[in-house]
Structure 1
Amino acid sequence: MVAAPSPANGAPSAHRRKKQPEQVRRALLDCAAQIAAEQGAHAITIQAVAAGAGVTKGGLLHHFDSKQALLAAVFSDLLEQMDREIDRSMATDAVARGRFTRAYVRACFSDRLLGERSLWAALSLAGVSEPALRSLWLNWIDGRMQRHFDTDSDPNLTAVRLAADGIWLADIMDKTGGLQRYPQNLEAVLLAMAGG
């Protein structure tokens, strides 16, 4: 084993370690997401996330100045993941009309079988009561609808997206019984209604 070089100024070697802010930030987001999925968004605390990610509370607060900022970052990260999932789905859909709606339906159903382990389920309830999260969601959906206005503004397609939202909300309200009450083939029904 090779010994680490001792610092010239006598400071501990940990202080000379190369900083990796993006990796630390990613670890904090992943830890917060895991806590939310396993215990619910209410369980996300500065202390729990810092300890889970192996950083100090000060280190966490360097990246996110409050619990609300951390929640917003986790929610934004989820929206980015949803964007990528929707874009991948749209790339394989040859029919322009309703392409975004079909991809949106698929995304809404993608983690349905996870039930109470769904991160979206955990953070969605927080989104209802947290104005900042609600604003992130509304900005995201408004941006997508502007982008896909020509292909997805038909009221019938809007009804399909709202139905997908309704099933998703129903699942959140009854995480264990939702799949029995609203079977998985509803995805196929909605996709057919959207022309898929």
Structure 2
Amino acid sequence: MNTTAYNRPKQPEQVRRALLEAAVALAEEQGLGGITVQAVAERAGVTKGGLFHHFANKQALIDAVFDFMLEQMEETLDRLMAEDSGHGCFTRAYVVSTFECCDQALSGQALTISMVTDPALRRRWGKWIDDRLVRHADTDSDPRLRVVRLAADGYWFARVLHEGDHGSETPQVLQARLIAMTREA
């Protein structure tokens, strides 16, 4: 048993983040079934009671992990958009962040792929993306930009489903092609 959990100073935000990161890691390694209260608590080095202090139940933990991933994507989009402006800037940031996500070891694929079968997660993703599209309507309402975003989604989905088969173009070439399309729209 890990006794350091009882002796360490209280750092609720660090503990909460450790729990979220542990849940993401377990989902990556084992799928959503790998996210158990016991496994997440052990991975984060806290007691189950410590986990329940932050999350009422497993579903609350999964919801928080999904929100955590959306916050990370939001930070990436904001960072990329700070370096860009004008017509299509949100779509360019979306394309780049989608391609970056495919290259990261802990990209949350198990949780995001679960949106296909989980109506609640699908609704949350839909609301999140719809809110961003409303926010960036001045620069990204062009239907051709929607096609580019859908192509980026398709690239991500294909990478998840076909780990070794990336087609004839490298990811860098495909990303550059999609970015070029945003400037032509």
Q: How does 1:23-172 map to 2 (within 5 A)?
A: 23-94=14-85, 96-114=86-104, 117-172=105-160
| Structure 2 contact 24–106 (Cα < 8 Å) conserved | no
C-alpha distance 42-180 of structure 1, shift in aligned 2 (>3 A): farther
Aligned length: 179
Q: How does 1:12-27 map to 2 (within 5 A)?
A: 18-27=9-18
| Structure 2 contact 145–182 (Cα < 8 Å) conserved | yes
Pick the structure with greater CA Rg: 1
Q: Distance in 2 between matches of 1:100 and 1:23?
A: 31
Q: Deviations over 1:75-120 (max 9, x none)?
A: 11111111111111111114x1000000000000003234xx4423
Q: State percent identity of aligned pairs.
A: 53
Q: Where does structure 1 lack aligned partners over 5 or more consecutive residues?
A: 1-13
User: What is the TM-score with the length of structure 1 in the denominator?
Assistant: 0.83
Q: Where does structure 2 lack aligned partners over 5 or more consecutive residues?
A: none
Q: Distance in 2 between matches of 1:27 and 1:152?
A: 36
Q: Distance in 2 between matches of 1:165 and 1:64?
A: 31
C-alpha distance 180-42 of structure 1, shift in aligned 2 (>3 A): farther
Q: Distance in 2 between matches of 1:139 and 1:131?
A: 12
User: What is the TM-score with the length of structure 2 in the denominator?
Assistant: 0.88
How far residue 39 of structure 1 moved from its aligned partner, in angstroms, is 2.5
How far residue 161 of structure 1 moved from its aligned partner, in angstroms, is 0.3
Q: Secondary structure at the match of 1:161?
A: helix
Q: Match for 2:124: what amino acid?
A: L
Q: Distance in 1 between matches of 2:108 and 2:6?
A: 38
Q: Match for 2:83: what amino acid?
A: T
